[in-house]
Chains A and B, each alone.
Chain A
Amino acid sequence: DVKVTQSSRYLVKRTGEKVFLECVQDMDHENMFWYRQDPGLGLRLIYFSYDVKMKEKGDIPEGYSVSREKKERFSLILESASTNQTSMYLCASKLADSENTEAFFGQGTRLTVV
């Protein structure tokens, strides 16, 4: 059974803290993605990675960074958390070099910044 696992379901952090959201996949996928989901705005791409140590900015990268040191793990980092980063964060992975295969999603991390 394929799996994308996010380290936390719920997280509460204080303004200014450095926050790490971890995502691990067991499918040997090259592509990995971080989205945030907000009511009325759908899913917005923060960053994606198409291979180890490779990353590309998505549509809303400001205030975030990422790390991909190993193929199976893609970390999202909030350098200095702010209240406007309170959101649901979704990680996904996908096989590269194929338009036909779907992305697999983790269960999401609901982050609250107070």
Chain B
Amino acid sequence: GDSVTQMEGPVTLSEEAFLTINCTYTATGYPSLFWYVQYPGEGLQLLLKATKADDKGSNKGFEATYRKETTSFHLEKGSVQVSDSAVYFCALFSYSSASKIIFGSGTRLSIRP
């Protein structure tokens, strides 16, 4: 079945460092891809999304490009801030996954001042 694999955490970086969180997927159809963020004590909220190959989603300085050839959707940010400390989830949705949203295991990111 469909699945999402993202890099294990926790990831600890200094402020203004470059961030990459890897995400790869397996899907039989053509899924839409999402990154969600969960701040401490809160539910998940959408960070960005891409709905077809080569689309780039972006928001709050974060970017991710839908790469069909490598089945990847890596999250990047050029200069992280302390306020970016959170748990990040990669996810996919397609009708071939029976309308379920499939999530990765999450990556905890901590940013040092």
Contacts and interface: CB of A to CB of B under 8 A. Distances in A.
A50 B95 CA distance: 12
Contact of B51 (A4, A31, A99): A99
Q: Is the interface of A mostly helix, strand, loop or mixed?
A: strand
A31 B3 CA distance: 20
Contacts, number: 55
A90 B92 CA distance: 17
B101 interface: yes
B70 interface: no
A90 B44 contact: yes
A31 B99 contact: yes
B4 to A, nearest CB: 9
Contacts of A42: 89, 103-106
B66 to A, nearest CB: 12
